[in-house]
Amino acid sequence: ELKVEQNPLFLSMQEGKNYTIYCNYSTTSDRLYWYRQDPGKSLESLFVLLSNGAVKQEGRLMASLDTKARLSTLHITAAVHDLSATYFCAVGGYTGANSKLTFGKGITLSVRP
């Protein structure tokens, strides 16, 4: 059974500092996804990582993938309040039944002044 684990589950961040959060998964998957969810809202796609060593950056967020370690990291540079949200990672394949996503429990980030 495919399992996706995220840690920590909650992270209080200080504005301006850097942080890294982690996503581990139990079996080989084609793709690793990061989504953001604001309270009471739906999921917003952030990144899709396709291959070992893939790195993608958008603003203060940078995601990377190590398929051998089955690990993805999301690095936050100089945290700002707007980044406060819950971040989910998910794994899935590309086509057919494999394309369903298996999500972790999410990491709630809170940025304090």
Residue 18 · residue 111 · CB < 8 Å: no
- Taking CB under 8 A as the criterion, the residue among 1, 45, 82, 113 binding other proteins is 45
Binding of other proteins by 99 (CB under 8 A): yes
Shortest distance, position 36 Cβ to other proteins, whole Å: 11
- Residue 7 is given by DSSP the state E
Residue 112: C-alpha distances to residues 9, 54, 63, 78, 84 (Å) = 17, 30, 22, 12, 9
Binding of other proteins by 36 (CB under 8 A): no
Q: Looking at this protein, which amino acid is placed at residue 3?
A: K
Point out which residues bind other proteins (CB under 8 A): 4, 31, 33, 35, 41-45, 48, 50, 88, 90, 94, 96-97, 99-106
